[in-house]
Amino acid sequence: MVENIQKPIFKIQNLSAFYGAKEVLRKININILSNSVTAIIGPSGCGKSTFVRSLNRINDLILNFRVQGKIFYHNKNIYDKDVDVVELRRKVGMVFQKPNPFPKSIYENIAYGLKIHNFIKKEMIDEIVEKSLKKAALWDEVKDNLKQNALSLSGGQQQRLCIARALAIEPEVILLDEPCSAIDPISTAKIEELIYELKKNYTIIIVTHNMQQAARVSDYTAFFLSGELIEFGKTEEVFKAPKDRRTEDYITGRFG
């Protein structure tokens, strides 16, 4: 990887987040580089999900949620009043912890994101559906059953369908919040492989509880603890020579 072509795509400055009066992220400062994989690790409840869910403002759906500080995406603060949230979410896609395909056919699941936004020809949609499913390594398994209901797929297939759904609208960034926690090891391996592939064209931020997974797939690792960013750096460095004692304790499994 050539270091110097990578620019920060997200610049996060003094980000604090609250559910009601409860502060769950405290003054986070971090830059996310484009075309890299950043892993977010940390014990349960430390604010990992809250952090990634702030990046596409999906947490706006939670009534008492509030942020302070700034998140620049391509030098535009996404919490500015004049930001088009719909457009932001099309650029910053997301895959959730539990697979959440729509109760529609496989085809419709992917076509949905295309249809809601612009008028495109049926052939175009067909093409993108196929391309997305191929990228998500699901095409071979479902190509004969595109009309089948997505809920009849296995958990691992559903999760890859959700990845395909996110890819179909051509985002720049993909947020993955523990994408493998609800699926079996074989599907997990497939998804890791996929992340490796996707890295070429996308910026990926992945939350994971699995240290090996973080070490395997990511270029950078951020370690969170009780709402604070404790350490951030190249994955090798964080894992081989952590600067902070707490990082080391967590990685070696001494707490959390």
Residues in contact with other proteins by CB under 8 A are 56, 58, 61, 63, 86-87, 89-90, 93-94, 96, 98, 100-104, 112-113, 116-117, 149, 151, 162, 165-166, 168-169
CB of 24 to ligand ATP, least distance (A): 4
Site membership for ligand ATP, residue 179 (CB under 6 A)? no
User: How do beta strands 92-95 and 173-177 pair?
Assistant: parallel
Chain residue at closest Cβ approach to ligand ATP: 49
- Contact between 174 and 202 under an 8 Å Cβ cutoff? The reply is yes
Do residues 191 and 163 make contact, with C-beta atoms less than 8 angstroms apart? yes
Span interacting with ligand ATP, options 41-49, 71-79, 121-129, 237-245, rule CB under 6 A:
41-49
Cα separations in angstroms, 172 against 9, 25, 40, 89, 101: 9, 25, 18, 10, 21
Spatial CA neighbour of 59 closest among 49, 73, 45: 49
Stretch that binds ligand ATP, among 38-46, 103-111, 132-140, 232-240 (CB under 6 A): 38-46
- End-to-end alpha carbon distance in the chain: 33
* Residues in the chain, total: 256
How far does CA 255 lie from the centroid of its chain?
Answer: 25
CB under 5 A: which stretch of 41-49, 120-128, 151-159, 240-248 binds Mg ion? 41-49
Residue span 64-83 as binding mask against ligand ATP, x where in contact by CB under 6 A, dash where not? --------------------
Of 203 and 208, the one with the shorter C-beta distance to ligand ATP is 208
Q: Applying CB under 5 A, does 50 fall inside the site for Mg ion?
A: no
SS3 assignment, position 189: helix
Of 124, 131, 136, the residue nearest 161 (C-alpha) = 136
Q: Which residues contact 214 (CB under 8 A, 6 or more apart)?
A: 39, 41, 206, 208, 221, 235, 239
> Residue 56, interface with ligand ATP (CB under 6 A)?
no
Q: Is 249 helix (H, G, I), strand (E, B) or coil?
A: helix
Query: Per DSSP, what are the bridge partners of residue 92?
Result: 173
Among Mg ion, ligand ATP, other proteins, none, the one that 166 touches (CB under a kind-dependent 5 to 8 A) is: other proteins
Which of 35, 36, 38, 49 binds Mg ion (CB under 5 A)? It is: 49
- What mask of x and - would describe binding to ligand ATP in positions 124 to 163, judged by CB under 6 A? ----------------------------------------
Task: Report what 45 binds from other proteins, ligand ATP, Mg ion, none; CB cut-off 5-8 Å by kind.
Answer: ligand ATP
Query: Which residues between 127 and 166 bind Mg ion (CB under 5 A)?
Result: none
